[in-house]
Structure 1
Amino acid sequence: MYKEHFGLKDQPFGLTPNTAFFLNAQGHREAFNMLQVALANGEGFIKVVGEVGTGKTMLCRKLLNTLDDSFYTAYIPNPFLNPTALYRAIAEELGVKCKSRDGINEYQNSINERLVELVAEGKQVVLVVDEAQAMPPKSLEALRLISNLETETTKLIHIVLFGQPELDRLLAHDSLRQLLQRVTFSYELPPLDKEGTRNYIQHRVATAGYNGAQLFNESALQYVYKASKGVPRLVNILCHKALMAAYGKGDQQVTKGHLVSAVKDTEGVDLPGSVTGWVFAASVAVGLGIMLGLFFTMPGGFQ
């Protein structure tokens, strides 16, 4: 709707992860480096956790797109599967022809045989599981059993788990302590800081083809950070709506006013320094004042 108005070639703040817009921000850079080092060292289990909207899926796809031909990758985007269904999904990702009557033992054997073939071809097999916090505990245990497959010198498969903080709480259960002990590399993905949010917005705008004067003015950039708290998904939502607001008014630059409209239109996001917050603080102060006044005037109280 607004691309032509602002001279953009692409939509800069889409919600679908697009690795062309990947920003090498500090947290994402550290996580990506950790993944590369861990895989280079042949580690069995690797874990990346982060709150909703912090860019886990983007990082996951960046990893998949970056690994060269020496790696064979399998990707499970929806792991809410029982152990049999999980093994079937992994087998299919590995190119194993599955039969409808196959059970968990048949899948285990087929996966093992296929892994041996791939390793013999000089491949490192990497299984990437997104939204891993959704996995049932029995399926996580089934995943651990697959990680046991190894030759005398190397593991047959390396497993990378991406998930929300609930994944850590799930792995803390006593029944999954063996899996938790297998996790040798782990990283918690943080939200963007103030400067990171600024760079994120400007990077996405430039990647989308904008080459004019500063599209988001300074007050708008500061306001986005305060409202989004540096969560990339919220940054995308607010910036997209702010661009629509600016376009609707015929403005060529996004200002704080456009961001205020965007925040008001977005559920779950509060206006920074909103009137509600001041009213609450004032009501608390008044309430304390009344209580103290009553205390000091009560019989036996300080006079």
Structure 2
Amino acid sequence: MYLTHFGLNQAPFSLTPNTGFFFGLTPHVEALQVLQTALQTGEGFIKVTGEVGTGKTLICRKLMNDLPEKYRCAYLPNPYLSPDELRWAVAKELGLQYSENLDQQQLTGMIQQQLMALSAHGNAVILVLDEAQALPNESLEALRLFTNLETENRKLLQVVLFGQPELDERLQSSDFRQLRQRITFSYKLRPLTMEETQAYIQYRMGIAGYGGDGVFDKRSLRMLHRMSRGIPRLINIIAHKALMLTYGCGHHKVSFQHLKDAVEDTEDAVSVNASWQPKLMALLFVLTLGAIFVKVSL
């Protein structure tokens, strides 16, 4: 591994969402602000969507880690569950002790009683679902019915959905118009800008213990941003491979070739050759027009 070679004390570009590496990038900070504001209102559904790799799970974990004590959080990282399985999972997250021979009506009643008891003790309960685009249609409807549970002052349960853009597409269906109207706050994560990508790389290297000059020069950073499309997960994968290749060559600065090789070895990254093709085609087009103009002039 390259840690000692670069003077690092931990891997800077791990794919595991580690809140210790959380950096205050504008889209991530804005998403957290929306979530925190929405939770204070105590109403309905909250939704955060974004392309694969844009940082939804990291924001999810950051939100749960920073919740005030009054919040009780039920977390479902894999919500590909039937309505019955969803109710069992929620009951377990709420700490309920139950018999396996309970029917669904009895289980729903126990969940409601537990929510009312927690509310009476000043606890606000939120249900957080990651990868929410995987929820079956019937389970989405079951979630909506959960939010019918309320006191005269507030909902007994708030639901936070983190999902890919497919979730937005599904919710546009008329079948989900009731649920759609209950989404009180939403936020759509965007990829990073060039400046944010540069700051992101430097920040993670610093947190990992690097104290020297930039391993990635400006040319490499521009290429990394372009090939990753500003998606943090792809940035991590490409940067990690580039550091491995640099270490393997005994160098301390990432070269253009190292980065090119890392990109070509990464699924879903923009091909280096493909990224130059539009510019090449534009140049050929201009040259062709110039040649035609010369012929016409003659």
TM-score per shorter chain, which class? over 0.9
State the match for 2:91 in structure 1.
91
Take 1:278 and 1:19, find their aligned partners in 2: how far apart are those partners? 38
CA contact (8 A) 1:131 1:164 kept: yes
Aligned to 2:68: 68
2:173 paired with 1:173: yes
| Whole-angstrom CA distance in 2 between matches of 1:98 and 1:165 | 36
Quote the RMSD (CA, aligned, Å): 2.1
Q: Distance in 1 between matches of 2:261 and 2:273?
A: 15
Alpha-carbon shift at residue 220 of structure 1 (Å):
1.1
Deviation at 1:176, TM superposition (A): 1.1
Q: Please list the CA deviations of residues 208-245 of structure 1 after superposition, one character each: whole Å capped at 9, or x if unmatched.
A: 11111112111111111010010000000000000001
Aligned counterparts of 2:188 and 2:276: Cα–Cα separation in 1: 33
SS of the equivalent of 2:262 reads helix
Cα offset for 1:275?
A: 8.0
Q: How does 1:42-81 map to 2 (within 5 A)?
A: 42-81=42-81
Task: Mark the runs of 5 or more structure 2 residues left unpaired by the alignment.
Answer: 293-298
Q: Which residue of 2 aligns with 1:33?
A: 33
Q: Note if 1:185 corresponds to 2:180.
A: no
Measured in 2, the distance between the counterparts of 1:275 and 1:84 equals 48
Q: Residue 104 in 1 paired to residue 76 in 2?
A: no
Displacement after TM superposition at 1:272 (Å): 3.8
Shift of the 122–259 alpha-carbon distance from structure 1 to 2, 3 Å rule, reads same
Where in structure 1 are there 5+ consecutive unaligned residues?
Answer: 293-303
User: 1:68-111 deviations in whole A, cap 9, x for unaligned?
Assistant: 21110010011110000000001000001232222321221111
Alignment correspondent of 1:204: 204
TM-score between both structures, scaled by the size of structure 2 = 0.92
SS state of the match for residue 89, structure 2? Answer: helix
Q: CA deviation at 1:274?
A: 3.9
Query: Matches of 1:71 and 1:117 in 2, distance apart?
Result: 13
How far off its partner does 1:67 sit? 0.2
Residues in 1 aligned to 2:276 and 2:254: alpha-carbon distance in whole angstroms: 25
User: Partner amino acid for 1:99?
Assistant: S
**One-letter code of the match for 1:177?**
R
Question: Which residue in 1 is equivalent to 2:245?
Answer: 245
| 1:30 alignment partner AA | E
Instruction: Give the counterpart letter for 2:14 in structure 1.
Output: G
- Report the TM-score, using the length of structure 1 for normalisation: 0.91
CA distance in 1, matches of 2:111, 2:274: 56
- 1:128 maps to 128
Contact residue 191 and residue 231 of structure 1 kept, 8 A: yes
CA 1:279–1:210 in structure 2 vs 1: closer, same or farther (change >3 Å)? closer
Identity of matched residues, %: 49
CA contact (8 A) 2:47 2:186 kept: yes
Distance 2:85 2:223 in 1: 46
Distance 1:279 1:33 in 2: 39
Flag the 1:278–1:42 CA change in 2: closer, same or farther, 3 A.
closer
Go from structure 1 to structure 2 and tell me whether the alpha carbon gap of 1:87 and 1:275 turns closer, same or farther (over 3 Å shift). Answer: closer
For 2:279 and 2:8, the matched residues in 1 are separated by 41
CA distance in 1, matches of 2:245, 2:55: 25
Residue equivalent to 2:214:
214
The correspondence of residues 257-296 of structure 1 with structure 2, limited to 5 A, is 257-272=257-272, 274=274, 277=277, 281=281
Query: What's the secondary structure of 2:162's corresponding residue?
Result: strand
| 1:155 CA displacement | 1.1
The one-letter code sitting in structure 2 at the alignment partner of 1:35 is L
Secondary structure of the corresponding residue to residue 270 of structure 1: coil
Hey, what does 2:230 align to over in structure 1? 230
Q: Which moves more between the two structures, 94-103 or 57-66?
A: 94-103
